[in-house]
């Protein structure tokens, strides 16, 4: 069979004779050598692939203009939600193009802000990022975590808020942990792993997390071990001190499953043991606050969309639990306690609704939001009468509001000035039928005046996993896509949390194919309703969304013009063997289980590439030191795809160096990557582009 002439010459990816046996089924793994990111041959392969990819991308004439327009629009002040500790306010701000946002502190809202921590000064290239922080209750000390080159590994330090000077404390080998101060400000609780092997720290599996207390001014080696379970290697511990300072609440997690256990320790009694309040992994419990011995939780036991319950620790039997706010049709995402009232954040058809209840569960009011979008914030202490929240939508940059808990009034606090007119765009929400008849929501945003003639370039995005809800949010990158005439569609697939735990479970393990069916049905709906055609349709997603793209492009290569899988999980038979991959078996199932292996093998992107197939134009993106989804997934998929692909469309891999899974990535790297993606789509989908260049970036303010 004669293949069409390949316009690109791909680097050679040699094959090894590696065969693994899964429950009697022999599976070839010819590119297993690419699992070692530090071997000489992998490094040579990475360099060769990047050479081909960047040569290809850099010669697309419009790329430079796209990057200029992205940079232009990105250059606006971005404000974080202010929060208060002691008599101080704290907030993040980015002047526009800073690689990392800067943390400021001020003593009153109209005082002059002072820089408390500027991560941009921690490295030349912006690759050291602030990965977590905890301010002591008196507002005088800050524990903060730093991550290098996007790694999940963190190092924690302590800073004096008044002087800005760091203390001697230095804690290492921390991952998947925050910090929580005791009320006396003498120290804080945190979780860590044992020190890993220096050379394989970015690939080795992470087991046996331990919860410690660190006392200020002492070396980490003297930290007090509060809790660990040598009999449970997969358990992780998140320790938080209750607002009254009396209890350490320990949430015990296992993998990525939202189900958790809840233990607690009375901090008033030095001899107190850890008490197991909830000791079965059967539901999700999120501690809100306590009234003495009564603990309030957002829980989904017998209420898959969530409710608020009260448990009296003096009489914790389940038949004594009290329901405060019952489950409703909307999904209860989170609850905080302010002004002695519950502030409940709901998701209604994938957009935010905020309701306020008194302590008996009676509705006080619904917060009026500026439109259909996503709101977040509403943090603070139990007796605070003020709080802040941010609101965003596909055409509204994150805008900060000050909220008066007593009067119920919202006032504009900070509004970003971005050089575009939101009135030029519209968003609509549609519902379509998936393969099995399930109704799935999808948001579609585009420039007004769009003609439904079936050939608009369209970017369809999805995630569909781990109980994550994809809600409306603003992105300069997507704005530039829509300026170029592109349509942006987001499908709220099963596997996410949009409709509670049942919706999540409907896209896990043996039901995972539902997620791909939902995404394929979204593509077919867009084509049937003349938004686009297969030749003009691109799909994208990252991490679990990268798996989504990989599975759909291998199942329906005819349906898409281009595919952009980012940091994806592509090898469903070996994902559990690296870093925190074992934790995903709660969503994916395990290859060790014969029945789940069958389901995984049936859709694993790496194992479902068919030689001689013409695949969509593909740009795989990953990073050389992603220690969440190790780059081997993308490396092996790229090698196998280049080998199997029979068409003339390019299939490339773009490997970012000195970067990880995405958190803390510097602005410069983000802009370069978006420019590469859109340039790739301009060429692959044959888009006639007019890049907006006239702009007034700072319209006052």
Can you say whether the dihedral through the CA atoms of 158, 163, 164, 168 is positive or negative?
A: negative
Parallel, antiparallel, or unpaired: how do β-strands 617-623 and 562-566 relate? parallel
Q: Look at residue 663 in the predicted model and tell me its pLDDT.
A: 67
pLDDT tens for each residue of 460-474: 999 999 999 999 999
Q: Look at residue 202 in the predicted model and tell me its pLDDT.
A: 67
Q: Look at residue 472 in the predicted model and tell me its pLDDT.
A: 97
- The mean pLDDT of 543-569, rounded to a whole number, is 98
Of the CA atoms within 13 Å of residue 121, those in its CB half-sphere come to 6
Both structure tokens of 248: 């350490």
pLDDT above 70: residue 217: yes
Task: Band the pLDDT of 208: cuts 50, 70, 90.
Answer: very high
Lowest mean pLDDT among 144-148, 548-552, 579-583, 648-652: 579-583
Lowest mean pLDDT among 145-159, 167-181, 434-448, 680-694: 680-694
Closest C-alpha among 380, 325, 385, 388 to residue 357: 325
- The mean pLDDT of 126-134, rounded to a whole number, is 87
pLDDT above 50: residue 164: yes
Task: Band the pLDDT of 629: cuts 50, 70, 90.
Answer: confident
Residue 661 is among the residues annotated as catalytic for this protein: yes
Q: Look at residue 701 in the predicted model and tell me its pLDDT.
A: 29
Distance CA 451, CA 446 (A): 11
pLDDT above 50: residue 192: yes
The catalytic position among 13, 543, 604, 684 is 543
Phi-psi region of 518 (alpha: psi -120 to 50; beta: other; left: phi over 0): alpha
Distance CA 421, CA 395 (A): 9
576 and 593 Cβ atoms separated by less than 8 Å: no
Residue 257 is among the residues annotated as catalytic for this protein: no
Both structure tokens of 220: 């980490």
pLDDT above 90: residue 506: yes
Ordered structural domains, the chain, with CATH: 19-71+420-684 (3.40.50.1820)
The catalytic position among 625, 634, 661, 684 is 661
Q: For the chain, what percent of residues have pLDDT higher than 70?
A: 96
152 and 176 Cβ atoms separated by less than 8 Å: yes
Task: Band the pLDDT of 417: cuts 50, 70, 90.
Answer: very high
Residue 14 is among the residues annotated as catalytic for this protein: no
The catalytic position among 29, 169, 626, 676 is 626
- The mean pLDDT of 486-497, rounded to a whole number, is 98
Cα of 658 vs its chain's centroid, Å? 20
Is residue 631 classed as helix, strand or coil in its secondary structure?
A: coil
pLDDT tens for each residue of 254-290: 977 889 999 999 999 999 999 999 999 999 999 999 9
pLDDT tens for each residue of 36-75: 988 999 999 999 999 999 999 999 999 999 999 999 999 9
Q: Look at residue 4 in the predicted model and tell me its pLDDT.
A: 35
């Amino acid at each position: 069979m004669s293949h069409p002439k390949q316009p690109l010459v791909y680097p050679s990816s040699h094959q090894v004779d590696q065969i693994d046996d899964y429950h009697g089924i022999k599976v070839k793994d010819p590119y297993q050598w690419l699992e070692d990111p530090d071997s000489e041959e992998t490094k040579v392969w990475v360099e060769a692939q990047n050479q081909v990819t960047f040569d290809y991308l850099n010669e697309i004439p419009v790329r430079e203009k796209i990057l200029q327009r992205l940079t232009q629009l990105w250059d606006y002040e971005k404000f974080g939600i202010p929060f208060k500790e002691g008599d101080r306010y704290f907030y993040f701000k980015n002047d526009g193009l800073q690689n990392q946002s800067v943390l400021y502190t001020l003593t009153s809202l109209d005082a002059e802000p002072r820089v408390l921590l500027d991560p941009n000064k921690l490295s030349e290239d912006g690759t050291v990022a602030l990965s977590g922080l905890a301010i002591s209750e008196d507002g005088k000390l800050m524990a903060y975590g730093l991550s290098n080159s996007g790694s999940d590994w963190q190092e924690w330090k302590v800073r004096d808020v008044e002087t800005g000077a760091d203390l001697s404390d230095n804690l290492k080998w921390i991952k998947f942990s925050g910090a929580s101060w005791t009320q006396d400000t003498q120290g804080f609780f945190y979780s860590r792993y044992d020190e890993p092997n220096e050379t394989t720290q970015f690939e080795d599996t992470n087991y046996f997390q331990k919860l410690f207390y660190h006392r200020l001014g002492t070396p980490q080696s003297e930290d007090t071990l509060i809790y660990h379970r040598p009999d449970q290697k997969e358990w992780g511990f998140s320790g938080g001190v209750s607002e009254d300072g009396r209890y350490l609440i320990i949430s015990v997690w296992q993998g990525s499953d939202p189900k958790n256990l809840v233990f607690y320790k009375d901090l008033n009694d030095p001899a107190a043991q850890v008490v197991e309040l909830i000791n079965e992994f059967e539901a999700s419990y999120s501690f809100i606050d306590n009234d003495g011995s009564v603990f309030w939780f957002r829980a989904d036991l017998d209420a898959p969309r969530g409710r608020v319950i009260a448990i009296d620790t003096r009489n914790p039997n389940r038949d004594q639990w009290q329901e405060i706010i019952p489950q409703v049709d909307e999904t209860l995402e989170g609850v905080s306690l302010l002004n002695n009232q519950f502030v409940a954040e709901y998701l209604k058809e994938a957009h935010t609704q905020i309701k306020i209840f008194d302590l008996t569960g009676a509705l006080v009011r619904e917060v009026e939001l500026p439109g259909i979008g996503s709101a977040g914030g509403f943090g603070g202490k139990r007796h605070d009468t003020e709080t802040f929240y941010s609101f965003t939508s596909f055409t509204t940059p994150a805008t900060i509001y000050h909220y008066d808990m007593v009067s119920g009034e919202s006032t504009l606090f900070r509004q970003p000035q971005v050089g575009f007119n939101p009135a030029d765009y519209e968003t609509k929400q549609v519902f379509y039928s998936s393969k099995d008849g399930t109704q799935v929501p999808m948001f579609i945003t585009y420039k007004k005046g769009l003609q439904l003639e079936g050939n608009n370039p369209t970017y369809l995005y999805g995630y569909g996993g781990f109980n994550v809800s994809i809600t409306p949010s603003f992105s300069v990158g997507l704005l530039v896509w829509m300026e170029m005439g592109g349509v942006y569609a987001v499908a709220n697939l099963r596997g996410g949390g949009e409709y509670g735990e049942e919706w999540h479970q409907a896209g896990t393990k043996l039901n995972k194919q539902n997620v791909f069916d939902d995404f394929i049905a979204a593509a077919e709906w867009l084509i049937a309703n003349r938004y686009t055609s297969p030749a003009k349709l691109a799909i994208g997603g990252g991490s679990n969304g990268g798996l989504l793209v990989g599975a759909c492009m291998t199942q329906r290569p005819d349906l898409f013009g281009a595919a952009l899988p980012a940091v994806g999980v592509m090898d469903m038979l070996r994902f559990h063997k690296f870093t925190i991959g074992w934790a995903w078996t709660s969503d994916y199932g395990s290859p060790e289980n014969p029945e789940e292996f069958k389901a995984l093998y049936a859709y694993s992107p790496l194992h479902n590439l068919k030689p001689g197939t013409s695949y969509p134009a593909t740009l795989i993106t990953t990073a050389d030191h992603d220690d969440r989804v190790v780059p081997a997934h993308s490396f092996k998929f790229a090698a196998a795809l280049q080998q199997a692909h029979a068409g003339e469309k390019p299939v490339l891999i773009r490997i970012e160096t000195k970067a990880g899974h995405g958190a803390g990535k510097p602005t410069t790297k983000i802009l370069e990557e978006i420019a590469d993606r859109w340039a790739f789509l301009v060429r692959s989908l044959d888009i006639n582009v007019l890049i907006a260049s006239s702009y007034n970036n700072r319209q006052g303010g």
